[in-house]
With several copies, the nearest count.
Chain A
Amino acid sequence: MSERRGLSREQIAKRVAAELEDGWLVNLGLGIPTLAVNYIPEGRDILFHSENGIIGMGPRPADEDVDTDLMSAGKGPITLIEGAALVHHADSFVVARGGRLDAAILGAYQVADSGDFANWRLPDRHVGGIGGAMDIAVGAQRVFITMSQTDKDGTPKLVEDLTYPLTTKACVTKVFTEMAVIAVTDQGFVLEEVAPGFTPDDIVARTAASLIVPDDVGTIAA
């Protein structure tokens, strides 16, 4: 079982990107979430928000076109799409906290079956970095989490109660790992899809909370 590799970072990004619907405004966190921009299904008009005041962020420019005044919140070079709007930080978070984000894709250390998640601070470190995560998670219509199914030592990251410091309560919609897509519902975690080569039992074994396994669990199109 431990030989199976699961999805690559790019494949996770592609899977979560498939969730984004036409016309949505979306904020992407660092890491795998940022990769999702490369996998938007054809024909969907997705608008990207960056917390430093950009509504309508476009892809990375050619090296010679990089401008230090056009960077994402993750400090990567970007472009502006036609019809982009630029605002200051307070108004940028009016967009985020005020509920205008159809979805936010964020990383996490842990997700609880209540929809609570943790992503800003390790329990054993003095400090962490919140950045925009608390405002974005509390405001977004949907919070999609990309993370690994377990820690490096095999400890499940889907849990009953967080042991890492809370970022935001009851906000996670779905979790996308290298092994599975798991919805967070009123009933708790529900397995929706497994990665090729994995069975529902593999995911149950790597989840430290009840996991509802419906009859029709699909396979991630990788």
Chain B
Amino acid sequence: MRYRSGGHRGMQQDMKQKKFDSIDTALDRLKDGDTVLVGGFGLSGIPEKLINGVCERGLRDLTVVNNSSGAGRFGVARLLEKGCVAKVIVSFPWGRESDVFKELYKAGKVDLEIVPQGILAERMRAAGAGLGGILSPSGVGTQIAEGKPIHMVGNQEYIVETALPGDVALIKAHKVDPRGNLIYRLASQNMNPVMAMAAKHTIVEVDAEVALGDLAPAEIITPGVFVDRYVVTGRYKPEAWEGAWHE
């Protein structure tokens, strides 16, 4: 399905070039010390090629935001193992397979901030929305509240959770059009759309590219205004997945 063009002048000739052929070049704005929002949950929606690219570029002192601190030697765990990471901000650092993180953490080589999963997403959305933060009910009275301001609304106690912006987001999507508009495959959205909003500079790896007008305006999950660069990787089997694989 293609949508009628309003005939907006010069659009197709002069659109901002967002497509990059090389993972390495696409990552060339990452700097040591950046806060990097990394999409993915479980095996789904992890930008593995971008993560490997960061490892190869040998970046250092990154603060990595993800749901977990990685499993096995893949995803965020690989970033940790390669020594790229100074701090993780996650909801679930201590998984069964997060051995790489556990070792580094015990050795005092990586810092940790734990945030409830929904508040992690909401703090990033707040950054994307230009808000200073949110009043959170999650974790009131717990160790999560320690050191954070409390704000009462009526009789209800809330934790002031500040916005969590990223210098860069590394995310994964299913389809992209030349404007950078994105849709996601099945339940692979997870944190990806929120991270695209929250970062100053968003880099996407994507299964496939489609022509302008091929995505219905209302089905677009991440508008291209939140996307700076994309690399088409094709769909591939997640490195950590040992089961059967169907294209």
Contacts and interface: CB of A to CB of B under 8 A. Distances in A.
A touches B in complex, CB < 8 A? yes
A63 B243 CA distance: 8
A69 interface: yes
A153 interface: no
B226 A165 contact: no
Interface in B194-230: 194, 197, 212-213, 215, 217-218, 220-221, 223-226
B122 A129 contact: no
A71 B117 contact: no
Contacts of A138: 130, 137-138, 140
Contact of A127 (B2, B114, B129): B114
Interface string A22-62: 11010000000000000010111111011111111111010
Q: Chain B at the A interface: mostly helix, strand, loop or mixed?
A: loop
A132 B62 CA distance: 25
A222 interface: no
Contact of B244 (A42, A63, A78, A94): A63
A97 B144 CA distance: 16
A94 B197 contact: yes
B95 interface: yes
B155 interface: no
B186 A86 contact: yes
A99 interface: yes
Contact of B225 (A47, A82, A129): A47
A131 B91 CA distance: 5
Contacts of A23: 14-16
Given A25-B225, A43-B14, A88 B5 contact: no
B4 interface: yes
Size band of the B side of the interface? 35 or more
A169 interface: yes
B128 interface: yes
A127 B101 CA distance: 11
B11 interface: yes
Contacts of B190: 52-53, 88-89
Interface in B1-58: 2-16, 41-45
A103 B119 CA distance: 20
A105 interface: no
A167 B114 CA distance: 13
Contact of B42 (A52, A132, A166): A52
Given A95-B223, A98-B197, A134-B144, A89 B191 contact: yes
Interface in A148-202: 165-169
A81 B199 CA distance: 26
Contacts of A131: 67, 91-92, 117
Given A23-B15, A94-B197, A83 B213 contact: yes
Nearest to B185: A69
B112 interface: yes
Given A88-B192, A89-B189, A90-B121, A98 B9 contact: no
A18 interface: no
Contact of B91 (A45, A88, A129): A129
A19 interface: no
A70 interface: yes
A88 B191 contact: yes
B137 A70 contact: no
Contacts of A82: 2-5, 11-12, 212-213
Contacts of A221: none
Interface string A101-139: 000000000000000000001000111111111111011
7 contacts: A56-B179, A69-B186, A70-B186, A84-B217, A128-B114, A138-B130, A168-B138
Given A82-B2, A129-B95, A134-B138, 11 more contacts: A23-B16, A40-B10, A45-B13, A69-B45, A88-B192, A98-B127, A121-B143, A130-B91, A135-B130, A166-B142, A168-B142
